Amino acid sequence: MSIVTDIISDALEITGMKSPNEDLQTAWENVGLRRINSIIDGWNVDKIKGYGVQELEYSLTPSQSVYTIGPSGDFYAEQRPVKIEYAYTLDSSDVKHRIEIVDYQTFHQQDYQKVDASYPYYMWYNPLYSDGEINLYPTPTSGYTIHLDVYFGFLLYAGGTDNINLPQGYEKLLTYQLAVDLCSHRGKEVPRQVYRTLKDIEQNIDAVNFSLWMPETKILAPSTNTVNESNFIWMNRGI
């Protein structure tokens, strides 16, 4: 398994800024660590770089409508979610009640004050840092189980000896993206092969992730009979 300094050394070597026999200087280690965390921070707001949704379950507290989620939240998670994709509550009879995830403005519309239900079915997620904030309406009256499908970002690294723990393909992506970043940092032209390799890796990862995140394209095709809306059929095109 690689560590952070391995990635930094490899990035410098493929750009010609360091020889394989040369020790990694502390200054480069510090710069490389900062640039790596900057790259990962960028991945965390790029949905196509995400690699999966994690399913979580927690217990709601009667009469409580606001919960924090994260390392020190009401709902514990190693990090606060970047986004909540899907949610529902599960009652004592194992009946699912879907929660619609809405934006800030929609959640705070006055019409919601007229809702009369014992379980929540509207949610606004406020991705505060370091704990996100889950807002539910109506306020649950019982200790239902809430199910969340959440998208977490990548964790940042604290030091050069930290292990690199990334999905398949991402370690190489990080190495080549760091190489490009370090060239920019030094005002050095990026070697053509380095840039070409980075684009190839990005294309391969994005192609896989795009099929996971994006819905199938719907194609509206007319029938051979009368052309009207009722005679149109939906055809799916796989990505």
User: Are 192 and 111 in the same domain?
Assistant: no
Other Cβ atoms closer than 10 A to 159: 10
| pLDDT of amino acid 207 | 83
Q: Where are the alpha helices (DSSP H) in the chain?
A: 4-14, 26-43, 104-107, 170-186, 192-213
CA distance 239 to 230: 27
User: Are 20 and 60 in the same domain?
Assistant: no
User: Are 89 and 135 in the same domain?
Assistant: yes
**pLDDT (tens digit, 9 = 90+) per residue, 50-60?**
666 889 999 99
Full residue range of the structural domain in which residue 110 is found? 52-151
Q: Which residue has the higher pLDDT, 113 or 133?
A: 133
Other Cβ atoms closer than 10 A to 88: 20
pLDDT of 211 > 80? The answer is no
User: Are 111 and 200 in the same domain?
Assistant: no
User: Are 27 and 74 in the same domain?
Assistant: no
Exposed (0-12), middle (13-18) or buried (19+): which is 36, by Cβ within 10 Å? buried
| pLDDT of amino acid 210 | 67
User: Are 76 and 147 in the same domain?
Assistant: yes
pLDDT of 3 > 80? The answer is yes
Residue 79 CB partners (closer than 8 Å, separation 6+) = 70, 71, 130, 152, 153, 155
- Is residue 150 a contact partner of residue 83, using CB atoms and an 8 Å limit? yes
**pLDDT (tens digit, 9 = 90+) per residue, 71-85?**
999 999 988 898 899
Kindly state whether residue 239 falls inside one of the protein's structural domains: no
Kindly state whether residue 28 falls inside one of the protein's structural domains: yes
**pLDDT (tens digit, 9 = 90+) per residue, 81-101?**
988 999 999 988 889 999 999
What 8-state DSSP symbol labels residue 133?
Answer: E
Average pLDDT over residues 178-206: 93
Confidence class for position 214, pLDDT limits 50, 70, 90? low
Confidence class for position 45, pLDDT limits 50, 70, 90? confident
The total number of structural domains that make up the chain? 2
Among the candidates 116, 151, 186, a domain finishes at 151
Kindly state whether residue 238 falls inside one of the protein's structural domains: no
